[in-house]
Every structure is written in structure tokens, then in C-alpha cells.
A and B are shown apart, each in its own frame.
Chain A
């Protein structure tokens, strides 16, 4: 190897480094590193507070006049200019001072077409400031306001108590729950910027001027939604009447799909809601089955029966209400839930269950402490507990129906919750009867059990079989060629959630069918330890099975969303 240059002279006196004390320089360098560029050298003089410099570029992206009557502000996205750089997302994040992980805007991707004419279209999206906002309708504490003048759907952060119902109700996945703060936050179209004549963060930061603010006639927005003239593969605009306009000169091919179309992701399971739903349905179901049983029992056993079942059913109900508050980000504001009674099914549910708890407590007192004065009201009281309970469960059903998700539509949800109620009620009755009859030797209780247990166990087995069949029928959607919402749910249960699904069906079979049949066939070995263990297993399997069923109800619910990116 030839070498063209001489070694530098320095190399020759390695043995005797002529360095001055070295630490002085490294200390000096570290000191220098701490000193920042002198600000006064470069800092700009404060400007005289006129319009922001950027206004010259975004002025043309804002409407000339504010909305008049019957009009509102709306985002207008020119898809032919959206290149997918996603600067809007980061600008929104920065200029709104959001937390590190938090974003209010999102950019999805549509792909489709053929090899000779492929289509690739990024789509920037934020809140659509809908004419009939799902979030606002759903909110139990009126933490949403649709501004009278601008039509902007604004979230009142300090009013929010963190129930997250709006995150289920918005078809576009717009409100985002901020777990640390215990509230939801969302895009307000930078309303304070608009009020000052400035452009929203995304509008001023889009390098390609793809986003602008326009004034739309509300009628026009409704018409566009009705004509389904929104965006391919986006959720049905007829649900909330979004006002955003997506414009393009292109005709999207029929096969245009979001890049994340085939990806299925388990949703948030909302554990407190799972417990709350199962326990409230158990409680209401217990009262209903008990009431029905009264009519099948000999008259002299009825009082005994009432005093036996009521405390247990009430206990479950109260436990459910306690669980439900765990779901709130700010439970100390739970009292605000009354505000949304006129429009929010969640408000209604909370009020109905509150009433249910009060009535059930009164009823429980009435049957436990035989005070003569109350006795005439006992019958009507029992009926009102049952009726209010059913109404409350109906409210629960409607909470999910109102989200317009296919897997949560009325027949599906009502059947699920209704069967749960009956099944868990039968379980509660069976369990109470069998347990007491095996520990108490009173002849009256033995007689009661002999009469009632076959009925409740048969009811349990029938309802459990019906419910399991119904739930299993969801897997039929796997054969669907199209990626429907129901197929997504089935895929979720078949794949990422398969352990949960398997456990759910195993427990359902065990507690709802196998064990009840065993008890019916073998009769009583009442009093033995095995017997009590089996009873515990029966009840436990039924309740746990329903808890898992409800977990899947949330986790395997395909949520509508705007087109997403490659996942």
C-alpha cells in the first residue's frame, strides 16, 4: 500500500505529550456549552401587535364574513392538495399546547384502483362540527355546546366528568379521553383564533393550502349528508350530519378503501362498565325472577321467599352503582349527570338506576321488617322495583344503540341485556334457594326450595342455551366476503380475543347448562361440602361468563372511524 503523505510531525513525540493541563480546556468547553447564543444579539424586536405575519398566506383560506342565520363554520378539505405530509397534525398539537401524546387531527390513507390506474389519497381529518353532534347528544353533563353563531362544537373541559360516552357516540373517533386528567378533549376549530381573525392551526400550517374554513348553509350540509356525499369508506354521514367538505376533481374508484380497512384492533374494554352492566342486570333480573316466582309458589311460602332474595338482589344493585362510578374520570362530579336527562341515555340510565336503588332499598326494608303500615304498599312496591329496573336496563340498552354501531343495534343489544337479566336472575334465585336450603334446616325453606329450584334451574338452562346460541351465531359473519362491522367483531373474537371468547363459552356452558342439569338430574346432596362448592361454581361460572360476555361486547365491538393509515 503506497502512502502519499508523511506522518504529521506530531506523531513523532508521542512519548512526551506537550499538552498543557488538559482539564482546563474540557472545563472551558463544558462551560461554553452551558452558555446559549446571546439572545439580544438575534432576538427580534416585539412587533406592534398587528395581524400575525402568516396572515398574508392564510387570509384567502378564511371566509370573508362570519356565518349568518342558518349557517355555520366548517372545514373544507381539498383532497387534491393533501399530500399526506401531516404537518397539520403537529401544528395542531403545538399551537394548541397539547400534551406530548395528544393529537386532535389525524391523517388517514385511502387506496384503491387498479394496477394501471392506482389511487393513493391521504385524508386529513379532525372534528366535523356536525349539525347533530353525537357527542353532544350523548353527553350526560352537557359538556358540549354547539355555538349558536359559529356552529362550532365546543367541549367544556371543566364540565366534563370523564364518562367517555362521547368517545363511543362519535362515529369519527374525535373526542379523545385524557386519562391523566380524567376528561375528554377535542378540536374546537381553534375558536379563539377564529374570533381574533386568525386561521386555525391546521389551516395556517398546511404547506399546500389543503384545509380552509368556509361558511356553509346548514341545510346544504344536511343535504350533502343525506346524499351520502361525504368521503368514501367514511362512517355514514346521516348519523350526525358532519359539515366538513371533502373536495376532489377525481372520481374515486369503487374499490377505494382505507389503508387500515383490514386491520382489526380490540377496543377499550371499559371494565367498570362491564361490571356495572352485569351487576345491574343481575340485580334487576333477580327482582324480576323472584317476583315471577311468587306467582308459582304456594301462598304461605311467599313471605319467606321475599325476605330471602331481596337483600341479595339489592346488594348486587348497589355494588353495580359503586362500580359505575369507577368509570368516571372525575367521580366526585357524578351529580352533574342529571343535566343531560332530556337527550342523554346515560343521564337517563343513571337516574333510572338511582330510582331503582331507592325503590329496591325501600322494598327490601319492607320485606325484612314486617311493619304493618307498609304491607299494603308491598305489592305495588315490588312491581315498581321491577318496572323501574326494566326501564333502567332499557336505558342501558339505548346507550349503546344510540352509537349506531351495527354490533350494538337494538335487537342485538336488547337481546343480550335482556337474556343476561333473565339468566342472571334465574342464577341468583337458584343460588339463594339452594344455598339457604342446604345450610338452614327449617322445613319452610326446604319446602320452598323443593318447589322453586326445579323451576329456576330450568329457566336458567333454557335462557343460557338461548343466549349462548345467539352469541355463537356471531361467528357466522366470518364467512362474509365483505369486511362488515359484524365480520370485524367476529374476527376479533376468533383471533386476538380468542382466549376470552373460549373462556366465555366454556363458563356459559358449565354454569348455565351442565351444572344446572346435573343438579336437576341428581337431585339434592344438600348440605355436603361438594354440594356447596358446586353451587358456588354454578353461580360463579354464570356471573363470570356474563362478565366475559360483556368484556367481548366492548372489546370486540368494531368501532366506526375515519380512514386510517397503514397499520
Chain B
């Protein structure tokens, strides 16, 4: 009887079987901990993440030599074993049905047809050359990215400018950190974000301006959360954000009121003598003029212009004064503005005048956007000559030409056009051929209808992308299929100037090639293969880049090779040798010497200008745009490919509205409404929350419709588009 029961029981009640075994975990190897048995790695290797500028280390799990999964790297000094959802899902998005697997040529409006790489390269050369012969060498241009490796950026910039002979090329980095570049260059003498992430942990006061690291840079926020000094956190942002929720003081400044506010704070600090006179005298230039300049920024004036009470401004100034180690951090809220450069410099001024720079836990620190924005800043050959050099400087041209063993005459003597001027050039017929690499302007460029119209006017549009379905790829005459992160080798430079290595751990689909290989192929077909005879592998190019950086502030000539970078857990520039530049977490300016000839930093300031498109009776709301969640990246070309990431953000566009505005308009949560600006119109669901101030609404930038509304104004110094504020109307549906 018991035997019958014993036999019967497992049939009736079973605790084991195929389903249970499917989720079985086994003790991890390689220090990884327990992992699903079905994907147990046979080996691991290191890489850095390919989304944002945080530059997290990821441990790639390998099976049969190919990546089968990943976990964040514990002993990488950036992320301490953590990653945001994008990083966790980084491999998943490579497997998508719309990956570009073969060059595609659209001739005559029909469906594009698959062609060979040689035909693609020949077409590229033939069509681009034909345009150049007819309209001059500068009639073709490129728009690139902050997402490629530094070696690829350099190859593209060198090939386009030295090989193809065009002068005009820019990157989507113009949309994210051009403002910081100019602000730093003018103030410090070189584009040099001075901080290291350890500063997040060492400050006793952190001031975030136009920055929401909780969503935009969650792993940087990790470092803030690990600060053992119980720091005071100040957030200056029109919206109540996740970061503002954690702040001791949230200053809900009016959109673009930040510059006035910062001048007001500077005045108060000066008035109270809360400044570091010794530092100012020894290491800065132009302070007295600044003192005179800020005189009119009284508390009353500030309150009138920004909506911030005298009490709050005083608290802000006091908090800065009371801090021993105050760090200032800004992101797109400052950069994407009609006066971003001066606003960033208003922040730099505060750090300089209080001596909060060059010491641990201090600094005027721009948090960059993309994984290799910093690589692009130094080596894209667009806003400066390779390696932070000057196109106009003959000595610089000679140095670059000699390192690259090329004819110096091939180097242009002046800057090319910035992004918006290239777009304008297309409109005016000055630019007829455009090569878009690894970015999606038909989605992301400000005033999207205009951008799409402009791109449609080109004689020849080449798009080089991983996917065939981006808004821009769909417009391409020639689509070049690119391998993505994880399918190629190279280096990125993160926000704290740390160089990290990425690896080819999985095979690109079909005929897709690494951007590096595409540039090689095109250069070869262009007939300038000889110019790039040493550019045969990313690591060879890295050796050239090292030489280019020599004696620059960004000098990393002391790095041996990729292996050395990996062994050190990434290496920050400058790195001349192990002796001069020791330590895994280094900030700049410890000696108080800046990169201007006289070694002094500059106080730079200017009368703030009003919002280019203020709200009016007809357009009563100010639309703010920005990042919607940590699971979305930019135009969602990659992040929308993961089922899990898609579950983590709202599927449809939404607009965040203050309850009193919603009540007045008679709209209810979840209603579908029309949002209209002078440039475009869209439909969005209403999310009612008092996180928005009355009169302001917010939309995430990731949705393909958002930029229909944005207003194309640009910072006069950095040419960065001002995405953050434009006037709109909300129209409830009947």
C-alpha cells in the first residue's frame, strides 16, 4: 500500500521536473555568484557600456567564445557592480528583426534593394564625388555621433576632412554637450571636465542644476547615495524630479531663470564676503569686473525674474557657504539653452569664487550625455583638430600631419559648420550630399518637421546605422549596415575622462560591418587608402591617438595599450606615465593651474536674455522636454528593441500637467489631448501631477513626436539647440 502511495504521490504532487530545472541556478564561477544553469559562462571578459557617459564596466559572460549574457563589473571604479536597465539589456537589443544586414540602395523612390559592399562603396564614392565636382568640395557633409568609439570618430573625421576634402561635419554631441565644451574652453583654456566620480562621495554639499541623475545617470546617483558625509543636496530645476525629491533644497526656478538666479547667488556670496579671496587672486582672472556685473542682481530682481523668494536664494547661498567641499553639477537643463554657455560659466564662477575646485569633492562639473561624447570632443575632428588641437594653428597642423605622416596641406585651416548651419546649408542648396552616422536627426533634431523637410531635399543621403527602421534610415538613398556595441573593438571616454575598452564579443548580423571597417572600406574606394595605411585596426589607431594627445592637457601617451586600460579599470586622462598620474580616481586643477597661457581661470558673464519663445496668451504653456526614464535612450533606436525595457516606460507619448491647469482646461488624467506649437502638433495622454509648476508642461524627448514642437533657437557660442523651453497650447478633445 505504501509503495502504491509512493509511486502515486510524485504523480499527484511533484516538486521537480523540466520547468523547475529550467530556472535552476548554479554556483557562479569567476566571482559572479549564482547564475541560471542554462547560461553558465565558460569565460568572462570586460567591456564598458555603450549608452551613457557614465561608462559603467560590464562583465560579459562568454559561451563558446561568444557573449551569452552580462553582469555589471564589481571592481570597476565607476559602477561598483551596478548598472541601469539599459546596461543590463545591452546585449538583447542587438538581436532585432530590423537590424541592417546588407547595404541597401534606393534608386528612384522604389523599395531599396540589397547590394554588395563593393557596390555600396563605389556608389558612395561616385555620388559624393559627383556632387563635390559640381558644387565644390564642401557641398558634402557628415553628421556623426557620441556613440562610436574614439578610433572610429577619428577615422571618420580624418577621412572626411583629409580624404574627402570636405570642411563640414558635426555630431549629435552638438545636441548634448557643445555648451559645456565652449564654457570650459573659455573659462579653463581647455575642454576639461575637472572631476572624478569619487567627488560625488566626498562633497558635503552637492548642487545639481538642470540635472536629474536619478533617471539620466542612475549610476552616478549611486555614488551620491554612497556619500558618507550626509551631504546637503540642492537641486535647481523647474520640475520636481526624482533627484529634487531627494534634495534638502529644491529651487523650482522658472524655465531658463537659472542664469539670473546664479548671478543673484554670486552677488549674495560677494556681499557677505563668503568668497575665497586668496584663490581668486592666485588663480583667476576678471573677478572685479564680475563683482561689478552682478551688482544689479538683487534679491528682489532675482525673485521677479525667477520666481524664487529671497529666503530661498539666501538659503542657497548659505548652503554653498557652509559647505567645506561644494561640488556643482549640471546636465542638459543648462546645456540645451539659448544661453547655455553663459549659464554654465555662471556655475563655474561660483566654484571659482568660493575656491571649490581642485580639491576632492568640489568642482564645476558638467555631466556629459553619451558614452563617448568625450571621445568625440577630442577626436571627432569637428570642433577642433584631432586631439583638442586648433585647425587655425599652423604648429598644431604640422604636429598632426607629422604624426599621421600626411601632407599638412590636407588639413583645413578653419572650423567647419556646426550642425544647425549644415542643416541650413542643405536648405540653401550649399550642401547636397549628407552622410549620417549612428544618429537619428529625423527624430532628434529640433523642430522635426523642418529637419525632415531638409533631409528630404538632399541629392544624396547616406545613413550608416545598425537598424533599417530609424526615422532617418528610412529616408536614406544608401544605407550602410553597421555593427554595434558588442560587435566591435575600440575605446570610449566617459564623463570623468576615463578611457575604457569595448570588445567584439558577438557576431554582427549578415553583412553588417563595424563603423571602423566601413570607414576603411570607403577610404580605400575613395582612393586614399594610402593616407590610412596605418589605420588597420582600432588598436593601431589608438596608438596614433596617443601620439596626437601628447603634450595636450588630455595627454594619455603613457597608456601602453588596451590591455593596460583594462588592467587598470579604465584610465583617466591626463596619463603621461605611472609616476606623474597615479591613482584610479583623479580630478584636475589640484595645483590651481588652469590651461590658459597665464594659468588662470576666467570669470565670464553676460546679461541674460529673455526666453526666445515665452508663453503668451495664444501659446500659454511652456513645454519642457527631457529624459523620461532610465530605460529609454534618446530616440529609442536600441532601447525599444528589448521587451523588458519597453515594459518599464509608458508606451504612448504623454504630457505632464499641473492639476490646476488641468482643471482649468477641463482635462482629466489619461485624456488624449492635442499639444500644439507654432511648428507642429501632436497628441499625447495627460498625466496630471503637481510635480509641474502651473503654466509649464513636460514631455519626454524619446517619443518620435516630441520634437515636432520644439523651437529652433541656439546658444550663440556653442550652437547647441535649446530643447528645454518653447511655447505650446493644450487643446482638449471635444
Residues of A participating in the B interface, judged by any CB pair closer than 8 Å: 1, 3-11, 13-14, 17-19, 22-23, 25-26, 29-30, 32-37, 39, 41-44, 46-47, 49-50, 52-57, 80-81, 83-87, 89-91, 93-97, 100-101, 103, 107, 111-115, 118-122, 141-142, 156-160, 181, 183, 185, 190, 192-193, 196, 198, 204-209, 259, 261-263, 335-336, 339, 565-567
Contacts and interface: CB of A to CB of B under 8 A. Distances in A.
Given A33-B508, A118-B691, A25 B521 contact: yes
A96 B23 CA distance: 7
B228 interface: no
Given A36-B507, A100-B92, A53 B74 contact: yes
Given A10-B528, A566-B654, 18 more contacts: A3-B167, A5-B137, A5-B412, A8-B165, A19-B525, A33-B513, A36-B65, A86-B648, A87-B88, A87-B630, A96-B25, A120-B240, A158-B17, A190-B25, A204-B33, A262-B670, A339-B12, A565-B648
B260 interface: no
Nearest to B35: A95
Interface string B18-32: 111011110111111
Contacts of A566: 650, 654, 687
Interface in B638-664: 642-645, 647-650, 654, 658-660
Contacts of B407: 9
Contacts of B644: 89-90, 93, 100-101, 103
A103 B647 contact: yes
A7 B132 CA distance: 10
Contacts of A115: 658-660, 690, 693-694
B162 interface: yes
B55 to A, nearest CB: 14
- Residue among A29, A35, A185 with the highest chain B CB neighbour number at 10 A: A29
Given A39-B65, A87-B88, A94-B71, A46 B30 contact: yes
B245 A121 contact: yes
Nearest to B32: A52
B69 A37 contact: no
A148 B206 CA distance: 47
Contact of B13 (A7, A53, A93, A142): A142
Given A5-B409, A43-B45, A57-B74, A83 B218 contact: yes
Contact of B163 (A8, A119, A157): A8
Contacts of A55: 33
A44 B43 contact: yes
27 contacts: A3-B137, A4-B414, A10-B165, A33-B507, A36-B65, A36-B66, A39-B65, A42-B503, A44-B45, A44-B46, A53-B32, A83-B218, A84-B214, A85-B215, A87-B88, A95-B36, A111-B689, A118-B689, A119-B245, A121-B245, A157-B23, A158-B14, A158-B19, A190-B34, A193-B25, A207-B225, A336-B12
B80 interface: yes
A85 B689 contact: no
B129 interface: yes
A107 B648 contact: yes
A99 to B, nearest CB: 9
A14 B129 contact: yes
A8 B163 CA distance: 7
A208 B218 CA distance: 9
A26 B18 contact: no
Interface stretch (B117-125, B145-153, B296-304, B701-709): B117-125
B83 interface: yes
A190 B35 CA distance: 11
A93 to B, nearest CB: 5
Contacts of A97: 22-23, 25, 35-36, 38-39
Interface residues on B, range: 35 or more
B81 A43 contact: no
Given A118-B240, A565-B649, A39 B45 contact: yes
Contact of A83 (B132, B246, B563, B647): B246
A339 to B, nearest CB: 6
B342 to A, nearest CB: 29
B512 interface: yes
Interface string B167-210: 10000000000000000000000000000000000000000000
Nearest to A336: B12
B62 interface: yes
B524 A84 contact: no
B630 A84 contact: yes
A22 B23 contact: no
Q: Which 9 pairs across A and B sit closest by C-beta, in order of nearness? A: A97-B36, A158-B17, A52-B33, A207-B222, A157-B19, A90-B88, A85-B218, A262-B669, A83-B214
B31 A53 contact: yes
A9 B167 CA distance: 15
A184 B245 CA distance: 37
B19 A208 contact: no
Given A83-B221, A142-B13, A566-B654, A192 B563 contact: no
Nearest to B489: A37
Contact of A159 (B15, B529, B566): B15
A111 B691 contact: yes
Interface in B100-122: 116-118, 121-122
B404 to A, nearest CB: 14
A44 B44 contact: yes
B613 interface: no
A114 to B, nearest CB: 6
Contact of A26 (B118, B489, B566): B118
A257 to B, nearest CB: 9
A196 B27 contact: yes
Contacts of B674: none
Given A83-B218, A84-B214, A87-B84, A11 B45 contact: no
Given A11-B132, A101-B643, A207-B225, A158 B165 contact: no
Contacts of A35: 504
A189 to B, nearest CB: 13
A196 B489 CA distance: 37
A50 B84 CA distance: 26
B617 interface: no
Given A26-B118, A54-B33, A159-B13, A86 B687 contact: no
A44 B33 contact: no
A44 B503 CA distance: 14
- Residue among B18, B43, B563, B644 with the highest chain A CB neighbour number at 10 A: B644
A29 B648 contact: no
Contacts of B558: none
A26 B521 contact: yes
Contacts of A1: 136, 138, 430
Contacts of B245: 119-121
A263 B670 contact: yes
B511 interface: yes
Contacts of B643: 100-101
Interface string B386-414: 00000000000000000000010111111
B16 interface: yes
Contacts of B33: 52, 54-55, 193, 198, 204
Contacts of B83: 87, 205, 207
A18 B521 CA distance: 14
B547 to A, nearest CB: 22
B230 interface: no
A44 B241 CA distance: 41
Nearest to B95: A100
- Residue among A44, A81, A209, A335 with the highest chain B CB neighbour number at 10 A: A44
- Residue among B19, B122, B483, B514 with the highest chain A CB neighbour number at 10 A: B19
B242 A42 contact: no
A205 B118 CA distance: 46
B691 to A, nearest CB: 5
A157 B20 contact: yes
- Residue among B88, B117, B137, B513 with the highest chain A CB neighbour number at 10 A: B88
B503 A11 contact: no
Nearest to A35: B504
A86 B629 contact: yes
